[in-house]
């Protein structure tokens, strides 16, 4: 056995090397510079030893690999910026060289003269799947949860280690483009059907099957390196190619509105790469990859959706001096749609959960909702009957609060009424141990007010889920005025246990996410009242990068809920807190036309019976005199949506509601899909520059109103040339600690 830090290396009696990737002190294997150095040494050893007939590479962990390490990417960007300040040309050359490191290693592996087989167990993502594609065969385990993907486009880049050249040489171009431009995950069955893996094997026979391929005479040459190689699909210049490529470009434009340079680069890499020899194709890919790494979109998306997201998931905001909680029992009060969803995701994570409602029958309905969710997962092949029985056995429906005894955490998800919540709090605290944490899933009521009825406000916290709980990945953890560090640590431990992303928010009306969402919908009201055609409002929002138009989103959240929010703001904050025109619009929709949204089949949209699709309510355009569509500035509509949301995020930072820019950015993307290509609400401002942003905000304010007034924080940042990540440096404490 050779001495490697990240790999185990064994050669069996048949002369087949087993390379087991198993990084110490890491839960998942990732590519680092050290890993690549060691792997290159191993490739050289296999190639240079005549006694070794071939090699199988597998993982010693539950998963194969998650791809590149975030610290390596951060360092690469940091070195580029440092060099760019001195010599921009040299900086680009350095970036080009470093971006080709991984691709060069994989090319060396596949041309080493010895057959390599990748034995894939668990998740195999990004660079790890590109390495597997460079192997001469791939065997995937049939165990549940095994999946492969090239998801780089989701963080603003693309498969730059040979992925754009190998995938379309193994499968047809249409499937290759769809896989890479969406970043979709593949099951072993789908990957085999596409020709991306060679075999599927039982988990216990994975390595044995991989070795058998080498024993059977696996050629150590890739198909594209053999004379006479033909693409699995038709050539670029063919009748089929003439049908595919114009359509592919049009579909990409329709889906991305040109907001994602990396997605467009994938098409260029595949199109140009398939017209030339493989090594030239790799060079084309490397050049585009270097170009994309320099884009604003890549920089912002990598920071928010790769680096910051992982840091928050690992507990970046967790108090470090508090021992982690291992949950043995969770209580959920309220078995309605939200409570049942919370119980489901808790049990899915293997934690026993007591689900309480007014009677056992109501609690059983909540458990039945969980069963429905499991049934949908089973239809998609993601769960088995065994998984179903195990999960449902962890949910105990009851009407007896005494069953909460021994719970580490209790989450109430009852009706949004202070009195109902007071009763739930008092009944739960009567049986809970003194160290237990009580959380409210409220979306509108301030936590500090709800905590007043608690006998232990230090242990009272908000855990705000978004609907539907099983699909939405963000959770707002809300601190009341008296919430202690222990409650925060337990809440963050719980969110991590159920595999969701937490952001920490200080107490305020609407917290963070809802404040931003309300601004989004409010600006749509303004546009309607101005006479902007409704279809233009929805399309402009999607063109700006939002996944759902504001009118469609309002239908989902319910228009009568908007009516209640406006009335509550009027009652609590006075007439200046609301626009009377908005009240008039919403009242007319709800009271006069009974249009409450999707829930009653009519809102801004009509919802006919399937298979007919929803469509904008034709009478909507008659409520206000309509502008000539040709005279409406679509670019300005797009700006208005992004600016009004980003300005609200800046106000939230100014008020100290959110204190970490990573949370503002990640939260805005995960919760309501704020234009991911910007990197999030604050990155949108940072990317434009505070000075330019404030100048444009003033122009919009003059033209459209006070909602575009920049807060003092932003004007100060503009004057000082600051960014949010400088002013609210999330790494400041860490940097100071290292300096000391």
Q: Per residue in 698-713, pLDDT tens?
A: 999 999 999 999 999 9
List the chain domain ranges: 7-294, 330-510, 514-727
Spell 143-159 as b/e; 16+ CB within 10 A means b: eeebbbbbbbbbbbbbb
Q: Return all residues near 729 (Cβ < 8 A) that are at least 6 apart.
A: 735
Give the residue-averaged pLDDT of 83-89. Answer: 88
Give the residue-averaged pLDDT of 390-408. Answer: 95
Closest by alpha carbon to 67, among 190, 160, 204? 160
Question: CA dist 38 to 95, 97, 124, Å?
Answer: 22, 19, 19
Q: Give Dmax (Cα) for the chain.
A: 85
Question: What is the model's pLDDT at position 734?
Answer: 63
Give the residue-averaged pLDDT of 632-648. Answer: 97
Give the residue-averaged pLDDT of 317-337. Answer: 93
Structure tokens at 107: 């090319």
Please, which pLDDT band fits residue 732 given cuts at 50, 70 and 90?
confident
Domain 7-294, architecture per CATH: Alpha-Beta Complex (3.90)
Q: Do domains 7-294 and 514-727 have the same CATH topology?
A: no
Burial of 230 (0-12, 13-18, 19+ CB in 10 A): exposed
Rg (CA), the chain: 28
Please give the share of the chain, as a percent, with pLDDT higher than 70: 99
Question: What is the model's pLDDT at position 733?
Answer: 66
| Marked catalytic residue, from 136, 369, 464, 582 | 464
Closest by alpha carbon to 245, among 178, 174, 180? 174
Please, which pLDDT band fits residue 1 given cuts at 50, 70 and 90?
very low
Closest by alpha carbon to 642, among 712, 708, 704? 708
Which residue(s) pair with 125 in the sheet? 149
Question: What is the model's pLDDT at position 2?
Answer: 56
CA pair distance 136, 93, nearest whole angstrom: 31
Task: Of 91-100, 242-251, 726-735, give the range with the top mean pLDDT.
Answer: 242-251
Categorise residue 15: left if φ over 0, alpha if ψ from -120 to 50, beta otherwise: left
What does the pLDDT look like over 501-546, one tens digit per residue?
A: 999 999 887 789 999 999 999 999 999 999 999 999 999 999 999 9
Dihedral sign from CA coordinates of 598, 604, 609, 613: negative
Categorise residue 122: left if φ over 0, alpha if ψ from -120 to 50, beta otherwise: left
Do you find a cis peptide bond into 288, omega within 30 degrees of 0?
no
Tell me the three state secondary structure of residue 493: helix
Question: CA dist 257 to 4, 66, 371, 546, 675, Å?
Answer: 47, 29, 39, 11, 11
Q: Which CATH superfamily is domain 330-510 in?
A: NAD(P)-binding Rossmann-like Domain (3.40.50.720)
Question: What is the model's pLDDT at position 76?
Answer: 80
Q: What is the mean pLDDT of the chain?
A: 93
Give the residue-averaged pLDDT of 668-697. Answer: 97
Strand 7-11 versus strand 16-21 pairing type: antiparallel
Structure tokens at 663: 């949370």
What does the pLDDT look like over 256-298, one tens digit per residue?
A: 999 999 999 999 999 999 999 999 999 999 999 999 999 999 9
Q: At what angle do helices 534-543 and 513-530 cross, to 10 degrees?
A: 140
Give the residue-averaged pLDDT of 148-174. Answer: 96
Strand 330-333 versus strand 199-201 pairing type: unpaired
Please calculate the CA angle 676-681-682 and round it to the nearest 5 degrees: 120
Q: Is 615 annotated as catalytic?
A: no
CA pair distance 424, 430, nearest whole angstrom: 10
Question: What is the model's pLDDT at position 442?
Answer: 85
CA pair distance 295, 732, nearest whole angstrom: 26
Structure tokens at 96: 């080009």
CA pair distance 663, 318, nearest whole angstrom: 13
Please, which pLDDT band fits residue 37 given cuts at 50, 70 and 90?
very high
Q: What kind of fold does domain 514-727 have according to CATH?
A: 1.10.1040
Please, which pLDDT band fits residue 418 given cuts at 50, 70 and 90?
confident
């Amino acid at each position: 056995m050779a001495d490697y830090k990240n790999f185990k290396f064994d050669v069996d009696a048949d002369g087949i090397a087993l390379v087991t990737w198993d990084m110490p002190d890491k839960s998942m294997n990732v590519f680092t510079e050290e890993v690549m150095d060691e792997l290159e040494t191993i490739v050289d050893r296999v190639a240079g030893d005549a006694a070794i007939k071939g090699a199988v590479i597998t993982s010693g962990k539950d998963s194969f690999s998650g791809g590149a390490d975030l610290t390596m990417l951060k360092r690469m960007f940091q070195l580029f910026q440092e060099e760019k300040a001195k010599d921009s040309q040299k900086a680009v050359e350095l970036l080009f060289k470093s971006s080709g490191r991984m691709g060069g290693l994989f090319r060396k592996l596949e041309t080493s003269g010895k057959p390599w087989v990748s034995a894939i167990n668990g998740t195999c993502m990004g660079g790890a799947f590109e390495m597997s594609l460079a192997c001469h065969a791939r065997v995937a385990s049939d165990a549940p949860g095994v999946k492969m993907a090239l998801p780089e486009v989701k963080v603003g880049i693309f498969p730059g280690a040979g992925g754009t050249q190998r995938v379309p040489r193994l499968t047809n171009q249409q499937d290759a483009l769809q896989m890479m431009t969406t970043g979709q995950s593949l099951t072993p069955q789908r990957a085999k059907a596409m020709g991306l893996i060679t075999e599927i094997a039982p988990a216990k026979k994975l390595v044995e099957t991989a070795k058998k391929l080498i024993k059977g005479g696996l050629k150590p040459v890739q198909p594209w390196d053999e004379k006479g190689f033909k693409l699995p699909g038709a050539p670029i210049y063919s009748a089929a190619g003439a049908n595919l490529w114009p359509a592919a470009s049009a579909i990409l434009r329709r889906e991305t509105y040109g907001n994602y340079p990396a997605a467009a680069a994938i098409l260029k890499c595949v199109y140009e790469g398939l017209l030339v020899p493989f090594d030239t194709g790799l060079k084309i890919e490397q050049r585009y990859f270097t170009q994309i790494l320099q884009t604003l979109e890549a920089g912002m998306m990598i920071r928010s959706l790769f680096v910051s997201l992982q840091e928050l998931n690992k507990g970046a905001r967790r108090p470090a001096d508090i021992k982690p909680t291992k949950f043995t029992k969770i209580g959920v009060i309220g078995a309605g749609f939200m409570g049942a969803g919370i119980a489901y995701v808790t049990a899915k994570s293997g934690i026993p959960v007591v689900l309480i409602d007014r009677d056992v029958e109501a609690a059983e309905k909540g458990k039945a909702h969980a069963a429905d969710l499991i049934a949908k997962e089973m239809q998609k092949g993601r769960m088995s009957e065994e998984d179903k029985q195990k999960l449902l056995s962890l949910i105990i429906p009851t009407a007896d609060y005494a069953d909460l005894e021994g719970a580490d955490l209790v989450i109430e998800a009852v009706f949004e009424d202070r009195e109902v919540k007071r009763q739930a709090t008092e009944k739960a605290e009567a049986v809970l141990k003194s160290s237990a944490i009580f959380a409210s899933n409220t979306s509108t009521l301030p936590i500090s007010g709800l905590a007043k009825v608690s006998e232990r406000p230090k242990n009272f916290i908000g855990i705000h889920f978004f609907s539907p709980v099983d699909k939405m990945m963000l959770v707002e953890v809300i601190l009341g005025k008296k919430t202690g560090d222990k409650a925060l640590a337990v809440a963050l431990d719980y969110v991590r246990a159920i595999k969701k992303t937490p952001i920490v928010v200080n107490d305020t009306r609407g917290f963070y996410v809802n404040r931003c969402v309300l601004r989004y919908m409010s600006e749509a009201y303004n546009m309607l009242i101005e006479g902007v055609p409704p279809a233009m409002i929805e399309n402009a929002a999607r063109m700006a990068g939002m996944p759902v138009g504001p009118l469609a989103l309002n239908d989902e959240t319910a228009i009568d809920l908007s009516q209640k929010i406006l009335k509550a703001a009027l009652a609590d904050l006075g007439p200046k807190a609301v626009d009377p025109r908005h009240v008039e619009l919403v009242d007319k929709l709800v009271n006069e036309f009974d249009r409450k949204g999707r829930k009653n089949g009519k809102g801004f949209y009509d919802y006919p019976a399937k298979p007919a699709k929803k469509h904008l309510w034709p009478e909507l355009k008659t409520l206000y005199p309509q502008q000539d569509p040709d005279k409406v500035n679509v670019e300005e509509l797009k700006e208005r949506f992004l600016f009004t949301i980003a300005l609200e995020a800046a106000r939230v930072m100014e008020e100290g509601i959110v204190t970490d820019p990573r949370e503002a950015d990640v939260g805005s993307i995960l919760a309501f899909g704020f234009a991911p290509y910007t990197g999030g609400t604050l990155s949108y401002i940072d990317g434009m520059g505070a000075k330019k942003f404030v100048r444009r905000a003033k122009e919009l304010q003059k033209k459209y109103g006070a909602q575009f007034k920049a807060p003092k924080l932003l004007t100060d940042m503009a004057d000082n040339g600051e960014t949010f990540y400088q002013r609210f440096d999330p790494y400041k404490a860490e940097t100071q600690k290292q300096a000391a």
